[in-house]
Amino acid sequence: MSRKLRMGMVGGGRGAFIGAVHRMAAALDGEIELVCGAFSSNPEKSRLSGEDLYLDPDRVYGSYQEMIEKEKALPEDVRMDFVSIVTPNHVHFPPSKMALENGFHVVCDKPLCFDMEEAHALKKIVDESGLIFALTHNYTCYPLVKQAKAMVANGDLGKIRKIVVEYPQGWLSTNVEESEQKQASWRTDPARSGVAGSMGDIGTHAENLAEYISGLRIKEMCADLSTFVEGRRLDDDGSVLLRFDNGAKGILYASQISVGEENNLNIRIYGTKAGIEWGQQDPNYLTVRYQDKPMQVIRTGVGDLSEAAQAHTRLPAGHPEGYLEAFAGIYRNFAKHLQARLEGEEVNPVYDFPTVDDGVRGMQFIYKVVESGQSDEKWVSFD
Amino acid sequence: MSRKLRMGMVGGGRGAFIGAVHRMAAALDGEIELVCGAFSSNPEKSRLSGEDLYLDPDRVYGSYQEMIEKEKALPEDVRMDFVSIVTPNHVHFPPSKMALENGFHVVCDKPLCFDMEEAHALKKIVDESGLIFALTHNYTCYPLVKQAKAMVANGDLGKIRKIVVEYPQGWLSTNVEESEQKQASWRTDPARSGVAGSMGDIGTHAENLAEYISGLRIKEMCADLSTFVEGRRLDDDGSVLLRFDNGAKGILYASQISVGEENNLNIRIYGTKAGIEWGQQDPNYLTVRYQDKPMQVIRTGVGDLSEAAQAHTRLPAGHPEGYLEAFAGIYRNFAKHLQARLEGEEVNPVYDFPTVDDGVRGMQFIYKVVESGQSDEKWVSFD
Amino acid sequence: MSRKLRMGMVGGGRGAFIGAVHRMAAALDGEIELVCGAFSSNPEKSRLSGEDLYLDPDRVYGSYQEMIEKEKALPEDVRMDFVSIVTPNHVHFPPSKMALENGFHVVCDKPLCFDMEEAHALKKIVDESGLIFALTHNYTCYPLVKQAKAMVANGDLGKIRKIVVEYPQGWLSTNVEESEQKQASWRTDPARSGVAGSMGDIGTHAENLAEYISGLRIKEMCADLSTFVEGRRLDDDGSVLLRFDNGAKGILYASQISVGEENNLNIRIYGTKAGIEWGQQDPNYLTVRYQDKPMQVIRTGVGDLSEAAQAHTRLPAGHPEGYLEAFAGIYRNFAKHLQARLEGEEVNPVYDFPTVDDGVRGMQFIYKVVESGQSDEKWVSFD
Amino acid sequence: MSRKLRMGMVGGGRGAFIGAVHRMAAALDGEIELVCGAFSSNPEKSRLSGEDLYLDPDRVYGSYQEMIEKEKALPEDVRMDFVSIVTPNHVHFPPSKMALENGFHVVCDKPLCFDMEEAHALKKIVDESGLIFALTHNYTCYPLVKQAKAMVANGDLGKIRKIVVEYPQGWLSTNVEESEQKQASWRTDPARSGVAGSMGDIGTHAENLAEYISGLRIKEMCADLSTFVEGRRLDDDGSVLLRFDNGAKGILYASQISVGEENNLNIRIYGTKAGIEWGQQDPNYLTVRYQDKPMQVIRTGVGDLSEAAQAHTRLPAGHPEGYLEAFAGIYRNFAKHLQARLEGEEVNPVYDFPTVDDGVRGMQFIYKVVESGQSDEKWVSFD
């Protein structure tokens, strides 16, 4: 008989933004239970966070190492099934590695890890472990992103010619990292974030979304990266020309100094037959434009949408689903795969989620876009 | 030490829409755990639903009566704390009554109950029990509804002159109740829904929203109710003129035959200084218009919003929050009150929720709007 | 051989808003030339206005009486062909009557005249004269209003069930008529405006638009009219329930105290098959909603629109057409009819314009809505 | 005493799109009268076009040469004051040159001319003539473009960091030039259009708009131009990275194969203090975003806008002004300058219009963006 899956969390203590998101996302569909955590490298903070979450104090740990070791020692019907990793980038690889090597499946925040070396190593570990590894490129789990992908795959747009993907934010338009802003602090620190700032934090989401929906692969890039805020050590804005493997052209614009922009990830894809437009801030609208007839506005839950879109829609039309629901989709799909493994069943391919391969590709994007930004060569090959 | 609150559910078995909503809403914030349920009047269906939800089979009951009795017999640190009632209207009162009389707090879907007699009786029971009773007028728990209410209360709009509240849907524009559509079936059946159709199902939300934000009370109504679909026994559309206690005028339009409309609850309020507009389908926008300067578009999480709005915002700006998050707000606020009671603490008044008084008022609205619809008198008094 | 038509204007001197609109509208399509005018009851002001407009001083008159007499005395190939009347309501009838009785066609601003007596008299004069009389219900001349009308006529919406038409403005939300505001002054003065304020000024546009698009006729009304601004003598806000001749129900909301609203005439019509929505402030969008498939957003100039829509579109898609273009459509269509008469030709019926009959109906609306507002009877018959 | 200005037109015969636009634009404000024209290189077609326009047949000419010669010979109080040139690109320079050399002022469609040689020559001729030369970069004449420019100039945005300007269209997404499509035919023909396709036709508008509003100058460009439609000889899509003279970065995207896009010129500018967004298809909205307070949506005519915005607004708020009104602004401002010259007066600098210098800069953009598109160098200098 199936049961709720048991989750342990690494990171996400008091004051962390993304940890709470992961917990709400994991809880939403009733498939996952948080049973333990190492919420902070500060044991006292970890303990208080566990208390906030009504956890058994015995299962609130002072470090991920302790958590993995002690959980492994618990009876099989008690111990956690998987680890959710919600730490800054430089603490993605070590707990992922240790979890996988000790038989725990992993859900990890993006980007995959700190550098390419880790990325390749992690890919190897995942493959060898045979365990499930999900990366939370959460934006791909909106119902209408699924719909967009299905429409492209179905040929509704014809041959793709142009892709414009944007991810403007404004929250780093001043030197907030010098104040106590925790989110800003590690994201602008090369020692914790990696070689890229905005390109790693949000550029990867844009890259992932464009490739996910279009089914195309970026082949070459030409980047102009900037650091506008004085004293900042990583890029806070970038404009990138893209060339895709089918001959399509593209633009990627990711920025954290676009004042007043909130979290405006959006994409437009134009083919020979139709063009589509979707934006994360109004995620229940997908506009489809034609050259010779009225545009359509597809709405979540309205009409005969693709199986994948329906499988990611929880509510009737007109009941807006948002960021947490899309994020929860990653956990729900991960859970479906894990349940299926426990039960020896198959999973319908519409319940896909980003894997370590997407993660490696994201890391490659980060490295190559930074390389292009520093280069005088017009085009830098993606691979 | 505080703990997760334990919820038992009445109704919401397989195939029910609103039961799943309540469960997701209750789960989202990690304050509530579903521990038992009587999910259907059909015991086998209840059992299967419990299995879907990974519940202990011993706590999946064949009826709400059984659930209340057996849970009451469980040790205090095991038994449910409260009952969530998600049945059709005619099964709101009996389980509410029994739960309250046995010491369980209640969260109940709207409208409060089947008729005025039940409404007055329930009000009395709640008052005498001293227990917490929350009604899920979920739309009032959006961050920007809280903001709108705060702005009105703060005088930002000046004296209110005009309120236009609309709730158009289109899903009952054909005779879907004659097919197997379960949602449609009971909502159009006077024996289960009560004296009103659309006015009870969605008109009450509109009435509640208008009074909640404005702080005003409807004094008189002039209604034109219709049943457009042949064979239907209750109203499926209505237009109502409103007069408020401060002299403001209004319009309430609720309809389930407005083809193509999804769930388009929206409101505009005009005062002497400013006008505001909010719509449930795009709930993270609140437009504020002035006569002599540019309009403002307030966005969830942007700028210096009211304490109440902030207290109902889970994510940074640009991460859209939707229907489930607002619904979860009712449960979260209810849980805060219940936790506070267990801990002997006070609750900040920003964590309000709709009570039995709102429920009685909603029932009064239903009766009076139906009376007005049948009357040749121009104005019918609300009270 | 055809020639430009010659226009004389009554009213519209320096500082008048609507006179300049009529002149721009008349000029836009190159079919009409302003040749003379009596721009003000103040002869000096009329003279200066004529100078502004580069008119021959000999053809700038001190009164409409003088203009009509002197123009009539000019050679046929010089004298004006028609009179454009852009004065306040109480000065619509006298110049219309005199012009028609002296053989001049007329374009007149709405509402038709000051009271019902004048309305009936004017109808009789127009009919007996055999001349062309156009009323500038300009909003019906937008391309997508034509499209909406064609769709309803074609049965695309099925049987109409519900019509919601709104015309909120905010500019009279304070007592601007007590300052020097010329527009406000006469519109709030019963001696110049007639029995209604907002209902006459903008309510008639709403009534006309609803009937024009739907092809239905209002049968009964139930109105709640208000005067919110202290000291004002006419209504500045009204909410009206409507019943149409086919059994459809409706709401009409016209207001000049809806703070922050600019000129937001909009309409929604729901039938058994589809619902449409159009708003004057974004006139190049027409939304069509269906119950079971994605909504369509029809845009001016995109796709295979109705002949009438195409006949009122001057520019390729994406080149926004606005208020003046729609207003010019009335003049263009009037000119087509007048040219056709001069040439002895037929006019394609897509080039329609509001006539004296629409004007009489508008006056009837004004009287009946005011009657209903003052009545304790729930329903007042339109006719 | 002032008088209407007399215009002669070169090009714009039957079937031409832009000629009719120029005529409506010139007529709108009542300052200009069309008195003569050489509407086609086909004399019979020119004659018929003149008839359509109710012109004196004696002043409908078979060529621009004939027009300029014969008009020059007419009495000063009869002859045209200026020439409006609305021919394809390769016929901009010759009539401009001849008109200026014969004492006639010029309004010319964009781009300035066919190649750089002509551009420099024309600049010299204009300067030496002392006559007025206006180029119809019409998009800069929208009220809210004026407002945006004023806000930047006033420092409301702080220091500009990022500019994203887009001009997607879809009408050339198939090989329409091989059918009878007259507009497509010359625009895709290097012998008539020049070295660029989409970059010359619409890319120049984007470049001009970005520089006009921001007050900045493009310093370097990195372009990826494409020809997607088989058999086409000029670019039909381009993505360009921009670097501005103050250090700001930018993206310019112009395309005529973006299926379903109508005429979607739009721009976003982000400074250190605020970001603005404006789009040509909804030109009466200007969104202003801040990092720490609600966004503002400035609407044409609402609030205390800049003097320049007010000077380009013809109607009260809520009466949408569109493409023709903006286009008319160029003619109106040109007319103001010409009237002022005739009267020996000064013109308020808010009545600016694009000049030959803007035209030379546009030609430079065309040449350099094509050079960059063909180059392996990452950056090509603009000047």
Contacts of C243 in chain B (CB under 8 A): 224
D294 and B297: CB-CB below 8 Å?
Answer: yes
Q: Determine how β-strand C249-255 pairs with β-strand C160-168.
A: parallel
> What's the pLDDT tens digit per position in A308-347?
999 999 999 999 999 999 999 999 999 999 999 999 999 9
Res. A239: pLDDT tops 90: yes
A337 in a structural domain: no
Same domain, residue pair C60 and C190: no
The residues pairing with D135 across neighbouring beta strands, listed in sequence order, are D108
Amino acid C185: pLDDT:
85
- Interface residue A219 vs chain B (CB under 8 A): no
The residue among B77, B107, B131 that closes a domain is B131
Please check whether residues A151 and A54 belong to one and the same domain.
no
CATH number at residue D289: 3.30.360.10
> Do residue C258 and residue B239 have CB atoms under 8 angstroms apart?
no
**Is the CB of D224 less than 8 angstroms away from the CB of A239?**
no
User: Quick check: C15 pLDDT over 90?
Assistant: no
Report the domain count for chain D: 2
* pLDDT of res. A185: 85
Helix (H, G, I), strand (E, B) or coil at D159: coil
Find chains touching chain B: ≥3 CB pairs under 8 Å: A, C, D
* pLDDT tens column, D12-55: 998 888 999 999 999 999 999 999 999 999 999 999 999 999 99
Which of C156, C163, C239, C372 should one mutate to test binding to chain B, selecting the residue with the greatest count of B CBs within 10 A? C239
CB-CB under 8 Å, C263 with D317: yes
A56 lies in the same domain as A163: no
| Confidence (pTM) | 0.97
Do strands A249-255 and A237-244 pair parallel, antiparallel, or not at all (unpaired)? antiparallel
For residue C238, the chain B residue with the least C-alpha distance is B249
| Contact across the interface for B324 and A314, Cβ inside 8 Å | yes
- Residue A86 and residue A180 in one domain: no
Residue C180: the pLDDT is 67
Cβ–Cβ gap C317/D1 under 8 Å: no
What integer pLDDT is reported at residue D2 of this predicted model?
Answer: 82
Identify whether residues B108 and B206 lie together within a single domain. Answer: no
Q: Can you tell me which residue has the tokens 């044409």?
A: D300
In chain A, the percentage of residues whose pLDDT exceeds 90 is 93
A306, pLDDT greater than 80: yes
Alpha helices in C53-115 (DSSP H): 64-73, 93-101
* Cβ <8 Å between C294 and A298: yes
Between positions 234 and 263 of D, the ones with CB within 8 A of C are 261-263
pLDDT of residue D180: 67
Shared domain check, B46 and B120: yes
B323 touches chain A (CB under 8 A): yes
Look at residue D304 and tell me if it is in a domain: yes
Other chains touching C, judged by 3 or more CB pairs under 8 Å: A, B, D
Q: Do C263 and D316 touch (CB under 8 A)?
A: yes
* Pairs of residues, one from chain B and one from chain C, whose beta carbons lie less than 8 Å apart: 130
Residue D27: domain span: 5-131
Among B263, B319, B322, whose Cβ lies nearest the Cβ of A317?
Answer: B263
Measured between beta carbons, which residues in chain A are less than 8 angstroms from residue C292? Answer: 303-304
Q: Do C289 and B250 touch (CB under 8 A)?
A: no
Burial B151-172 (b: 16+ CB within 10 A, else e): bbeeeebeebbbbbbbbbbbbb
Task: Give a yes or no: residue C282 inside a domain.
Answer: yes
Q: Give pLDDT, residue B16.
A: 80
CA-to-CA separations, A340 to A76, A345, A346, C52, D226, in angstroms, rounded: 17, 5, 6, 82, 47
Residue at token pair 């002001």: C45
Judge: C314–D54 Cβ closer than 8 Å, yes or no: no
Q: In this structure, what token pair is assigned to residue C84?
A: 């454009």
Contacts of D283 in chain C (CB under 8 A): 320
Chain C residue at shortest CA distance from B248: C228
| Cα A330 to the center of its chain, rounded Å | 9
CATH number at residue C71: 3.40.50.720
- Those residues whose C-beta lies under 8 Å from the C-beta of residue D85, and which sit 6 or more positions away, are D9, D10, D11, D91, D92, D95, D96, D99, D106, D107, D108, D109
- pLDDT level of residue C242 (50, 70, 90 thresholds): very high
For chain A positions 10-29, those within 8 Å of chain B (CB to CB) are 17, 20-21, 23-24, 27-29
pLDDT digits (tens, 9 = 90+) for C116-159: 999 999 999 999 999 999 999 999 999 999 999 999 999 999 99
Instruction: Note whether residue C327 is domain-resident.
Output: no
- Phi-psi category of D62—alpha, beta or left, where left has phi over 0 and alpha has psi -120 to 50? alpha
pLDDT at C1: 57
The arithmetic mean of pLDDT across residues B247-266, rounded, is 98
Number of A/B CB contacts below 8 angstroms equals: 114
pLDDT digits (tens, 9 = 90+) for B222-235: 999 999 999 999 99
Chain A partners of D281 at a C-beta cutoff of 8 Å? none
Residue D16's pLDDT is 80
Answer whether residue B335 shows pLDDT above 70. Answer: yes
Residue B30 near chain A (CB below 8 Å): yes
Rounded to a whole number of angstroms, the distance from the CA of B141 to the nearest CA of chain A is: 14
B277 touches chain A (CB under 8 A): no
D69 and D120: one domain?
A: yes
- C122 and C185 assigned to the same domain: no
Phi-psi region of D209 (alpha: psi -120 to 50; beta: other; left: phi over 0): alpha
Residues in A closer than 8 angstroms to B2, CB to CB, are: 54
Any domain includes B329? no
Q: How far is D262 from chain A (nearest CA, A)?
A: 8
On the question of pLDDT at A1 being above 60, the answer is no
Taking CB atoms and an 8 Å limit, are C262 and D314 in contact across chains? no
The yes-or-no verdict on residue A252 having pLDDT over 80 is: yes
- Please tell me which of the candidates D283, D299, D316 has its beta carbon nearest to residue C17: D316
* Binary contact (C290, B228; C-beta < 8 A): no
Evaluate whether residue D297 is within a structural domain: yes
B162 within some domain: yes
Residues D242 and D365 grouped into a single domain? yes
Asked if A320 lies within 8 A of B323 by C-beta distance, the reply is yes
Query: Which pLDDT band, with edges at 50, 70 and 90, does B178 fall under?
Result: confident
Cα atoms in the 13 Å half-sphere on the side-chain side of D284? 28
Distance from CA of D123 to the nearest CA of C (A): 30
pLDDT tens digits, B185-209: 888 889 888 999 999 999 999 999 9
State the pLDDT at residue D279.
Answer: 98
Q: Which of C159, C22, C118 is nearest to C359 (CA)?
A: C118
Clarify whether residues A281 and A154 are in a common domain: yes
Q: How far is CA C309 from the centre of its chain?
A: 18
Q: Are residues C223 and C259 in the same domain?
A: yes
In a domain, D354, yes or no: no
**A171 chain-D contacts, CB cut-off 8 A:** 291
Chain D residue with CA closest to A269: the answer is D258
Interface touch C294/A297, C-beta < 8 Å: yes
Q: Domain ends where: A131, A152, A178?
A: A131
CB contact under 8 A, C272 and B259: yes
Rounded to whole angstroms, how far apart are CA atoms D165 and D255?
12
B294 and D293 within 8 Å at the Cβ level: the answer is no
Q: What is the mean pLDDT of residues C237-262?
A: 98
Residues of chain D with pLDDT under 70: 1, 180
Query: CA-nearest residue of chain B to C243?
Result: B224
Q: Name which of A152, A162, A295 to mutate to probe chain D: the one with the most chain D Cβ atoms within 10 A of its Cβ.
A: A162
- Between B290, B293, B302, which is nearest D294 by CB? B302
Q: Which residues of chain A does B21 touch, with a Cβ-Cβ cutoff of 8 Å?
A: 315
> Is the minimum CB–CB distance between A348 and chain B shorter than 8 Å?
no
Of D70, D66, D60, D119, nearest in space to D92 by CA: D119
Least confident of A70-84, A185-199, C148-162: A185-199
Question: Which of D92, D110, D131 represents a domain boundary (last residue)?
Answer: D131
**In a 3-state reduction of DSSP, which class is residue A40?**
coil
Closest residue of C to B377, CA-based? C378
Residues of C in contact with B273 (CB under 8 A): 259
Place of tokens 């629901």: A325
Per-residue pLDDT, C310 = 97
On chain D, the residues whose CB falls within 8 A of the CB of B297 are: 294-297
Instruction: Output the DSSP codes for A108-176.
Output: EPSSS-SSHHHHHHHHHHHHHHT--EEE--GGGGSHHHHHHHHHHHTTTT-SEEEEEEEEE--TTSS-G
Q: Is the peptide bond before C111 cis (omega within 30 degrees of 0)?
A: yes
Q: How far apart are CA B112 and CA C338, in angstroms?
A: 65
Same domain (yes/no): D91, D163: no
For residue B364, name the pLDDT band (cuts at 50, 70, 90).
Answer: very high
Contact C17 D321 (CB under 8 A): no
